[in-house]
Amino acid sequence: LFARSDALHRQQQLQLNTRLASHISCLDSGDLCVCEAVQWVKDNSLPFLDNSRMSSERASREVRVKETLHRMWIYSHHIYRQELRKKIFDCAKKLNLTGFCLTGKPGVICVEGLRENCEEFWHDIRYPNWKHISCKHVENMETEGSIDNLRLFHGFEDLQFQAHGDYGLRNDYHMDLGQFLEFLKQHQSGHIFQILFGVEGKLSE
């Protein structure tokens, strides 16, 4: 069981859930616990919410804090499986991340948003057993405004370019990297091509 609220900071949420877990562990084995947990949260969450409101009021009186946009460039040997692609898109949507997923061989993922959300995404998609994947590059940019002004992507896109060569296997197809390079350049990220693939990208005339 896990309680989550947008009104609580991470530390307050952690404290609330630690107390909740402690309460549940005291119940007798075999007892129904969901209704008991809901009632406990109703009875005990107010102090945490009050603390959160006071923290927000204090923060609003202080100097405006700079926010940081975090952007991760992730490389995989390939991305084919439908259930894996669904996990990637669901996770990005849940964490308010923009970017893209390039399906095929090779596979490339870019996510941008708050640092903690990007790191949670990276943790969630790697486990339990995605071995051929690595984070090739990370970018951080500070702003006193909204991080949305720094985003290169407006949503989370599904990239599927023209493929070539199946090598006798139904789904072993290579993406047209020339089209991918053009896409990167359109999003002010042409320099990433060399970081991902180790070679300088060139567009065909």
The tens digit of pLDDT for each residue in 128-176 reads 778 789 999 999 999 888 899 999 999 999 988 766 555 444 455 567 8
Same domain (yes/no): 19, 107: no
Same domain (yes/no): 49, 129: no
Residue 152 sits in which domain range?
67-197
128 prior amide bond cis, ω within 30: yes
How far, in Å, CA of 88 to CA of 92, rounded? 6
Residue 4 is assigned to a structural domain of this protein: no
Same domain (yes/no): 84, 173: yes
pTM of the model: 0.64
Same domain (yes/no): 118, 17: no
Flag whether pLDDT at 64 surpasses 90: no
Are 62 and 120 spatial neighbours (Cβ–Cβ below 8 Å)?
A: no
Residue 204 is assigned to a structural domain of this protein: no
Overall domain count for the chain = 2
